[in-house]
Amino acid sequence: MYKLLSASIKEVSRKINAGEIRPSDITKASIKVTSVTKPLNAYISITDETANKYAKSSDTRQQSSSLLGELDGIPIAIKDNYCTKDHKTTCASKMLSNFIPTYDATVYQRLKNAGAVLIGKTNLDEFAMGSGTIDSYYGITRNVWNSDVLEKYYSCDSCIEGHTKQSTDENSWHIAGGSSGGSAVAVATGSCYAAIGSDTGGSTRNPASYCGLIGLKPTYGLVSRYGLIPLVNSMDVPGILTRHVDDAVLVLNSIAGPDEADSTCSRREYVPFDIPNTIDVSNLRIGIPQEYKEKNLCPEVQKCWDEVSQYLKEAGALLFTVSLPHTNYSIMCYTVLNRCDVASNLACYDGMEYGYRADEWNSLHEQYKKTRTDGFGKVVKERILVGNYFLLEENYEEYYVKAMKIRRLISDDFNAVWNNNIDLLLTPTTLTEAPIYSEFISMDNQAQCSIQDYCTQPANMAGIPAINVPIKLSKNGLPLSLQLMAPPYTEKRLLTVAKWIEQRVKFPKLKLKDLSLLE
């Protein structure tokens, strides 16, 4: 049973349909894995009662041959910034540590409608502000690679001796990436088959890169944001983390499409699709942006980039060097827009209507002050202060308006490339393998994000779809990955080429040992 937790959704779904396994048994095994991998801190809450309830409903549908589809009975996880009725939604913040929504986010509701089973709510940087999942009120999420958890409970398609020599001292752990690090570790460890993250500047693709997963950021507006607690309204996109490209397709088919509850959601009809196993990439026009050859790009990632480019060329694809000249301005632009939206979106947390409320205050002003001082972490408070500064009447034109103009130029860069008949862009996702925790925290949050999101953030500025594909393990036994980007609403093309790369590189997967260790 535990070996099936390393399989694909399609494979498990076939076994459920054939009556070879029960959804409730798969769910019990998934919940067990969340307990043995607890030191990695992937989850803020485990929804075991709900999971067992929904799994039993799947059992009933299985017995009556009325399963809802390929996700019926499949354990999934949701980032803890999505509203889930009757379950806490904390955003990894003290401010919302006791917040229980009265409704479900559209993404979660659609997964429930497809029969998926919620295993738990995953950890993140507080209010999704970060690139490491280290700024959570509930503690750091650790990468499963190079951990004693991996050594004890997992095997790998490749030799893992190099992964297991790391000290268990906190400062030697490698980060999981962020802000959807909890979702990434949940999938990588096999406690669920897919997890929903959110992607504002790379927060799905970044942890997918560090944890060796498929990480999909759909086109802005393709998937409803209703019930996703906002960070930057015009860039937030629900993201998908899986171990296989086909699994990402299944999840996307379940959650994409118009939603009357979200005015930013596209009204165009979404047509579900499958990807064949035999894929022809000949004559595809693939761009290699020269600005992504950043000075901090590590040689191993550059080698992956060169090798996959060569694989595509040998298969008949046409490669072109292209230019996205405003790439270097993207992080600075994002910094301004992010802080402005943070200041606006978090103004509602004043201790009056919901969320944390400070005790022992003598005036309304003091209540506001103490609530926000005690309820928010350092990173959140800094971003609120900076955002309010940018939005001052005397600063608005200088910062916010200019940032919006630069954003348009970044988007125009991509449009110029697409108009030149480029089908896809191939770039790094992150500049390095997953950093060591002690090195990561030696910089402030802004410096971290500037480095970690360099390659991912421009896609959010332009609203285009992008995907992380793991390529190989580094000499340190950590995942190295690349990114594909495509024109808006061309997810089928994006995922098709991602599957071709997946088939070609055969990235080694972690597999649970069986086993009595889990009994």
Q: Which residues are catalytic?
A: 79, 179, 203
Among positive and negative, which fits the CA dihedral 62, 68, 72, 77?
Answer: negative
Phi/psi of residue 494, each to 5°? Answer: -60, -50
Residues in the chain: 519
Residue 288 and residue 485 in contact, taking contact as beta carbons nearer than 8 Å? no
How far is it, in rounded angstroms, from Cα 42 to Cα 57? 26
C-alpha angle 30/36/37, rounded to 5°?
Answer: 85
Residue 69 and residue 255 in contact, taking contact as beta carbons nearer than 8 Å? no
- Burial of residue 435 (CB within 10 Å: 0-12, 13-18, 19+) is buried
How far is it, in rounded angstroms, from Cα 389 to Cα 391? 5
C-alpha angle 456/460/466, rounded to 5°?
Answer: 60
How far is it, in rounded angstroms, from Cα 181 to Cα 92? 12
Torsion of CA 165, 171, 174, 176, to 10 degrees: 140
- HSE, CB side, 13 Å, CA atoms: give it for residue 249: 21
Furthest-apart CA atoms within the chain: distance in Å: 73
User: Alpha carbon of 385 to those of 86, 355, 449: distances in Å?
Assistant: 33, 20, 18
Pair of tokens at residue 79:
């980032």
Helix (H) or strand (E) holding 246: helix 245-255
Helix (H) or strand (E) holding 377: none
Q: 330 Cβ partners below 8 Å, 6+ apart?
A: 410, 454, 457, 458, 461
Question: 123: closest CA among 42, 187, 34?
Answer: 42
- Burial of residue 283 (CB within 10 Å: 0-12, 13-18, 19+) is exposed
| 79 CA to centre of own chain | 9
How far is it, in rounded angstroms, from Cα 326 to Cα 458? 9
- DSSP assignment string, 117-183: EEEEEE--SGGG--SSS-S-TT---B-STTSHHHHHHEEESS--GGGS----SGGGPBB--SSSHHH
Neighbours of 499 (CB within 10 A): 21
C-alpha angle 495/499/501, rounded to 5°?
Answer: 115
